[in-house]
Amino acid sequence: MTGRPAGGLVTLGETMGLVAADGIGPLEYARGFSFGIGGAESNVAVGVARLDGRATWIGRVGADATGDLVARRLAAEGVDTVAVRDPGFTGLMVRHRRSGGALHVDYHRAGSAGSRLAPADVPDAVVAAAGVLHVTGITPALSDSARDAVRHAVRVARAAGVPVSVDVNHRAKLWDRATAAPVLRELVEQADIVFAGPAEARLVLGGAGQPAGQPAAELARALAALGPAEAVVKDGANGCTAVIDGDRHDLPAVAVTVVDPVGAGDAFVAGYLTARLAGASPAERLRTAIAVGAYAVTVPGDCEGLPRRAELDAFLSTPDDDVAR
């Protein structure tokens, strides 16, 4: 760790290598690839760090070149990194765009180093000194030990009075709805802040018992009724709806040309939590979240397009300008 002051964002989860095919079409015909890193929790940490916030990421990486890349890249972004070295391999995800609107992501992570995250890997003192602990519904899906690590971190945070942020982030390729729902609901019930898409909110609230057309405001209020003081429903091009301390907030999306939608939700969360840590009002937190999410989708990659503070300020001032002079 770099010894930066405590009090910022602390998060934990798996960060993988990301193999992305260039162009559009079947993977078998791709001739060019880029290699980077990606992971919901580390995306949020990078987003916070780029906006001049303090961020710490906790996870396991393999004793391999990809693990080295993860540790170096996060450190280069200014993220304090607690990277436990594991004899296993660092997970990979392979992404290609089959057609203009069809993005496919395959995971190669079963038995990976990141999936072996355990409670002993979580430094209690780091969590207890955080300004906010952020976890997602992805890590509990990886293994029993990873699920226990998340639960342990949440217990430590709550005992220390640290706010807990949960992004539901349901991944159907990792676990089925019936298995995921009670675990995700348990996390939400212990959270101070919750983020969910409409379908994720319905899953947490009871799955088939929630009508598909239920308004976002109703979903946000129902999530808040489970315990979180701040419930935010992220709805892509429709913007977001939140219930924060009992008050409803609705913000439209910012119109941008979408190049890569992957990581938009993580960018949104990073913007919101950065503003919250800075003491911003609920309206300003959501405005920042919408802007960071919009900015991120204009660039390929999981975290490459996340804005720095000066870029975000310029975007908020003149979001419609396409030439910087």
Q: Which residues are catalytic?
A: 266
Beta bridge partners of 20: 34, 95
Q: Which helix (H) or strand (E) holds 149?
A: helix 144-160
Backbone angle region of 239, left / alpha / beta, with phi > 0 → left and psi within -120 to 50 → alpha: left
Strands (E), 63-187: 80-86, 92-99, 102-108, 132-136, 164-167
Q: How many CB atoms lie within 10 A of CB 176?
A: 9
Structural tokens at position 231: 């419930």
CB-CB contact of 14 with 59 (8 Å): yes
Q: Position of tokens 């780029």?
A: 50
Beta bridge partners of 58: 12, 82
Distance (Å, whole) CA 198 – CA 200 = 5
Distance (Å, whole) CA 192 – CA 57 = 20
Distance (Å, whole) CA 232 – CA 212 = 17
Burial class (CB in 10 A: 0-12, 13-18, 19+), 103: middle
Q: What are phi and psi of 300, to 5 degrees?
A: -65, 150
Question: Percent helix, strand, coil in the chain (nearest 5)?
Answer: 40, 25, 35
DSSP state of 305: T
Beta bridge partners of 102: 99
DSSP state of 5: P
